């Protein structure tokens, strides 16, 4: 994305801030020089800077109607270049973020001193931890700020970022489309390689391979590949079961593209053909999935969608002879039908707010029957438009005939 995107995000942030205030955001901490590990950038820091580097910090300060931003990055260490390469330069940081004032991180104490003395409110973005645990770097820094500048009022910028990140801009939606397209190809790769007798982790490998082949090295979350009764466990993570010849396979997966997430669930028969009972359950879930997607529009809340899902689910479970009384539905359907999606698989949201144009939400009803070894969930990523919705993941097959055709034409 272009630097103007990040510039506009910082301007929008400053508009929500009161006069004589400043906000501090930190990149993910990482120990350089150790063995390589997966680096996942802090979502708020990325949203405001576009940078994918560790150990950096951002200050956004506001005085009157004017605001300015300062970025702090690590100095390059020539002796370490042979080990980890060159650090991000000031010029490159300016070009990516659109921030003109770029300092080195060791200059942070001197730069923040006059800012802290001339302001009244400090928004500090951090993750809390339990009493008794060691302080994280951010909490330790926050403790220093409150000690040295006791007149500052400390506030959490989370509510402000929730407002800003809720409605996705055109550029963000395009990144999510790309993440969904890669996820689509990776799901097809799993389906094309599925055979009874395989291990779930083998199918996970086929998913990851296709993502990495498309330069999506990070997952939105750890893939869930669940067969048979394992598919009745909502957050099944072991992926170490053997796929039975009569099993359904549930894949709840999502690639990341430029930090933006996809979150898709599809369910298909390992042997290529739904049994009569599997098809009954699957089509019940599919009907609810389609009905709830059609309900999506500005003005509704996530609770409205959940209430409608439960209403449809009670009827479906009775028709499947799973329950007789309405209140029994939670035995077979026990989770929410929707959450927001963006820079996180479960993105920042105020669930009491009404849907607005630009929100991206999931629609994911499911029916889980442990005693029959059947778990079915169908999940799509849906964009809220001006007067309705767009199913961003409509390219990913979910009709029974489509799935069976794919499974039989490997």
* Residue for token pair 């993570």: 237
Q: What is the mean pLDDT of residues 115-128?
A: 94
Calculate the alpha carbon distances from 225 to 104, 173, 187, 228, 280 in Å: 44, 27, 11, 10, 22
Sequence-distant (≥ 6) Cβ neighbours of residue 246 within 8 angstroms = 196, 270, 271, 275
Q: What's the confidence (pLDDT) of residue 84?
A: 84
pLDDT of residue 135: 83
In degrees and rounded to multiples of 5, residue 250 shows phi and psi of -105, 125
Kindly state the tokens that stand for 259. Answer: 């930090």
Strand (E) or helix (H) holding 376 = strand 374-377
Nearest-angstrom CA–CA distance, 8 and 1 = 12
SS3 389: strand
Q: What is the mean pLDDT of residues 228-235?
A: 97
Say which DSSP state 198 is in.
Answer: -
Residue 91 tokens read as 């010029």
Residue position matching structure tokens 């605001």: 67
Cα separation, 32 vs 84, in Å, equals 8
Alpha carbon distance 174, 172 (integer Å): 5
Strand (E) or helix (H) holding 68: strand 66-73
Domains and CATH numbers, the chain: 3-165 (3.40.350.10), 167-408 (3.90.230.10)
Bridge partners of residue 224, in order along the sequence = 252
What is the distance between the alpha carbons of residues 62 and 68, in angstroms, rounded to a whole number? 7
Is the predicted pLDDT of residue 109 greater than 90, yes or no?
yes
What's the pTM?
0.95
Tell me the pLDDT band of 32, cut-offs 50, 70 and 90.
low
41-63 tens-digit pLDDT: 999 999 999 999 999 999 999 99
Q: Residue 137 — pLDDT band, cuts 50, 70, 90?
A: confident
Give 78's Cβ-side CA count (13 Å radius).
0
Residue 208 has pLDDT above 70, yes or no: yes
Q: What angle do CA 393, 47, 258 make, to 5 degrees?
A: 45
Other C-beta atoms closer than 10 Å to the C-beta of 19 total: 12
pLDDT of residue 182: 98
The Cα-based distances of 34 to 18, 26, 84, 202 in angstroms read: 41, 21, 9, 30
Q: Name the DSSP letter for residue 342.
A: S
**Percent of all residues in the chain with a pLDDT value above 90, rounded to a whole number:** 90
* Pairing status of strand 66-73 against strand 264-269: unpaired
């Amino acid at each position: 994305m272009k630097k103007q995107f990040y510039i506009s995000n910082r301007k929008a942030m400053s508009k929500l801030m009161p006069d004589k205030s400043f906000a501090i955001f930190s990149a993910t901490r990482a120990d350089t020089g150790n063995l390589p590990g997966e680096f996942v950038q802090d979502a708020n820091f990325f949203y405001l800077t576009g940078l994918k580097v560790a150990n950096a910090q951002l200050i956004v300060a506001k005085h009157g109607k004017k605001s300015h931003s300062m970025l702090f990055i690590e100095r390059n260490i020539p002796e370490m270049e042979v080990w980890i390469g060159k650090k991000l330069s000031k010029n490159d940081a300016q070009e990516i973020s659109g921030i003109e004032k770029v300092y080195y991180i060791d200059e942070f104490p001197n730069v923040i001193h006059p800012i802290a003395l001339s302001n009244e409110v400090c928004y500090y973005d951090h993750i809390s931890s339990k009493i008794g645990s060691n302080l994280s770097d951010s909490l330790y820094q926050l403790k220093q700020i409150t000690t040295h500048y006791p007149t500052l009022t400390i506030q959490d910028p989370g509510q402000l970022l929730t407002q800003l990140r809720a409605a996705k801009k055109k550029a963000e939606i395009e990144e999510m489309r790309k993440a969904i397209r890669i996820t689509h190809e990776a799901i097809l790769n799993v389906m094309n390689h599925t055979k009874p007798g395989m291990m779930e982790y083998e199918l996970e490998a086929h998913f990851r391979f296709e993502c990495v082949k498309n330069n999506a090295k990070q997952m939105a979350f750890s893939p869930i590949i669940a067969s048979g009764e394992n598919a009745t466990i909502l957050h099944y993570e072991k992926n170490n079961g053997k796929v039975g010849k009569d099993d359904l396979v549930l894949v709840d997966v999502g690639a990341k593209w430029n930090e933006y997430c996809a979150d898709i669930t599809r369910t298909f028969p390992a042997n290529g053909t739904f049994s009569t009972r599997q098809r009954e359950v699957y089509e019940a879930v599919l009907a609810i999935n389609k009905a709830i997607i059609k309900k999506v529009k500005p003005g509704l809340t996530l609770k409205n969608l959940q209430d409608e899902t439960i209403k449809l689910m009670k009827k479906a479970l009775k028709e499947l002879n799973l329950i007789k009384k309405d209140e029994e539905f939670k035995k077979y359907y026990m989770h929410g039908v929707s959450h927001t999606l963006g820079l996180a698989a479960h993105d920042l949201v105020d669930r009491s707010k009404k849907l607005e144009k630009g929100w991206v939400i999931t629609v994911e009803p499911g029916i889980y029957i442990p005693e029959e070894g059947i778990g079915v969930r169908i999940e799509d990523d849906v964009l809220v438009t001006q007067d309705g919705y767009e199913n961003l993941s409509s390219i990913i097959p979910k009709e029974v005939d489509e799935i069976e055709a794919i499974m039989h034409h490997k």
